[in-house]
Chain A
């Protein structure tokens, strides 16, 4: 008998089968994920999901008899009181047999329920989303340098001395220039010493001594290691794409923003965060709130505390620019910004806001502006009149591909809006308004 321990073999042998299955039901799964993500708390977005899909596409049909047709005789165990010729009233629901005789395939009418893992869920969720204009900016997005080995150089710092390479050069030079080795000198010395002792052949002794002198001079003239032999390990700087992003959350916290509006804004920010954290190793979040003046705050303060004051949007943009200059150099960071506001701005600030935004925009991968409003059932999200801030930003829309604007009035709208904002864009010229 053999005993084989298979536990060390990788499990997940049927993963390809599951992938084939998911591919087959892709459309249905996507729809289910869409519906779930509408109702889900965004902070819980990254979790498993039990979904139900219609069984149409995944039936495995075979030729089989209809379960309720034809005369059937069935043998059953456990008879207690029937005798031949008795009749049994038909059980409710037309189930023909006694008890659980119903066909096991009878449940085929219901949907097929299964659990999507966290990763599968998010993959489906983000599937047709892509970073806006990513390909365009990808080349430029760069650039932290990392050193990489690149051969040898003639000069460098002593710590980078490549000893083996240096010694190899020295050895070949010594052989080429015929520098006497210690062993050769030793043989000659021994012979001279022997001759001098015995005094047999004075002529040869003189000749050998001359030879030895020449050898000595050669040794002195040809150095063991010459500066010309030295080699240093060379390093080259290689630009590495930046795998980090910073996300600026800008929000108007003046009295006109209600809890409902803040909640909408929060959901949007959360979704953006999930999206970015899937794409980048490292995502920083900066919260900037503003009334008539702006401040960088922590998350709790950002969403919870209220301020009183007017509304000067440009103050937040100025603050954002300061922070970028201070901490997030556009060459090191992919910058995303999301602004939420009810659309109010003090009348004198339009020009300043517009100018400041056009300064910031070139540094950003994407700037999305979400205008939140009170829930108005019926007219889903589309406020008939244009707010002052909306008008201000609209002017910039034509020239900037990386600015997007949307109006939201209901939690249900968040996900579609988000999709619209980041939907894979074929033509960059497409205007999202």
Chain B
């Protein structure tokens, strides 16, 4: 009997080798695909050292990335943190690509590698492949070749136009990165593979139609039509108002060179690639944590991992999903692993073992008996904000002891606005969901107009949110970058959402011949 169990164990020793990893992967794949019905990209598992993990940290986790000083700064920071023991490194990094690349640290024990493979190579992998945001916004096939192209293109520009010119441009582009995203879907899925070809085509086209004569043509005197229609026409032509600032600059800024537009495009496309990840932190980590928990429990039930290993896994799992209370010194906001995992477990409970309350709150899924199917459905079709606003149950709110406080500047005290009771559930759920809404987190800034007939001043508008102003110093710097890219003056108006009154105005002048 004992011998029988032993032969079924996937591994017995804490140090791993490649055949063991392969065995573990296959055993997990069996459970993940057959029992949980996960649908994943093929896996590529890469073993790296802590040094290389630090390298990966510095370039936003991607295996190849263009060079910029800010990555050096982050590397320096995380290295200092790691060396002094202040900060541990992640066990893995996983990349949304096809094949799905997971980086595993060599220091991990076999048990940890098992946990990490289940978590990243199956949990995250399934989420990347199936979530609608990733399908809509990212191109898993094309990302690595595109990064390769971006890296060599920027290196080429550095050689050709000088390090400082490229650095200034990237500084400016990075400052606007969070506003270089299309928030509503466009005609077709991005196709990063063809980006390199398209860059060459644009370049070629420009060379073909180049005619020196056009430079010398005197522009015609503007005709005087009806003022309003001209305004409308101009706004329509420029696709205004436009919230994707980088897109607008790439297409419209009058003074940029083609290579500068291309670099803006690169930064913009990369920002767009990461956009779904920012919107699905809770779901993505919840999905991966839920999957590894399910898979490893199953492996243990089948006797493929020993009791000791399973305890090690549980210990690590418990650390990952710890959610300290607001008054604990360890508190630093919601832990996406904890919240995601708790919600998914709760959904499974609602599906299989609902209470009356659940039936009232979730009539569609309560008691349908198919937890896994329901979750797969949810993973595919929601993002954090919609996920929380629809599936956070009163039961879980009670468990987490959620409450909401209102902080009004000027008031001497902070008011408790809602707690986990009948009156508070919906309020809490709405507020928490909104905390995960990117549209709510990022300030809402649009380009609203360009003074084409006058001094070409670019007009931006920031809609204040419940009276929150922009942080001035950084806003000024970013605006300066924007003015440099635009080539003419820029003004940013902070307006209140209801009556469009201007609360504050910032402006920046472009520095001559900066780019």
Contact = CB atoms under 8 A, between A and B. Distances in A.
A113 B80 contact: yes
B67 A4 contact: no
A64 B76 contact: no
B106 A7 contact: yes
B466 A22 contact: no
A67 B471 CA distance: 8
A75 B73 contact: no
Contacts, number: 261
For chain B, which range describes its interface: under 10, 10 to 19, 20 to 34, or 35 or more residues?
35 or more
Interface in B406-442: 406-409, 412-421, 423-424, 428, 431-432, 435, 442
Interface string A56-90: 00111111111111111111111110111111111
B407 A71 contact: yes
Given A5-B47, A17-B69, A65-B469, A87 B404 contact: no
Interface stretch (B189-197, B256-264, B294-302, B318-326): B318-326
Interface stretch (B38-46, B127-135, B138-146, B374-382): B38-46
A74 B419 contact: no
A76 B402 contact: yes
A70 B445 CA distance: 17
Contacts of B418: 84
Contacts of B472: 66
A69 B467 contact: yes
Contacts of B417: 73, 84
Interface in B429-479: 431-432, 435, 442-443, 445, 462, 464-475, 477-478
B77 interface: yes
A58 to B, nearest CB: 6
A80 B402 CA distance: 9
Contacts of B277: none
Contact of A75 (B43, B121, B402, B465): B402
Given A4-B45, A12-B55, A90-B412, A79 B468 contact: no
Interface stretch (B170-178, B204-212, B233-241): B170-178
A74 B326 CA distance: 11
Interface residues of A, number: 62
Interface stretch (A97-105, A241-249, A274-282, A286-294): A97-105
B170 to A, nearest CB: 10
Contacts of B466: 70-72
B76 A73 contact: no
B149 interface: no
A85 B427 CA distance: 14
Contact of B178 (A63, A72, A83): A63
A69 B106 CA distance: 46
Contacts of B423: 84
A221 interface: no
Contact of B445 (A63, A76, A112): A63
Nearest to B245: A63
A157 interface: no
Given A63-B178, A77-B401, A100-B332, A68 B409 contact: yes
B414 A13 contact: no
Contacts of A4: 44-47
A6 B47 contact: yes
A100 to B, nearest CB: 5
Residue from the set A13, A17, A98 with the largest chain B CB neighbour count within 10 Å: A17
A67 B409 CA distance: 11
A89 to B, nearest CB: 6
Contacts of A66: 468-472
A414 to B, nearest CB: 30
Given A11-B51, A58-B70, A78-B324, 14 more contacts: A2-B44, A5-B46, A11-B55, A14-B54, A18-B75, A21-B73, A72-B466, A72-B468, A75-B428, A77-B323, A78-B327, A98-B327, A99-B327, A100-B331
Interface of A: 1-7, 9, 11-14, 16-24, 58-80, 82-90, 96-100, 112-115
Interface of B: 18, 21-22, 25-26, 29, 42-49, 51-52, 54-55, 58-59, 67-73, 75-77, 80, 83, 99, 103, 106, 121, 163, 167, 174-175, 177-179, 323-329, 331-334, 400-409, 412-421, 423-424, 428, 431-432, 435, 442-443, 445, 462, 464-475, 477-478, 481
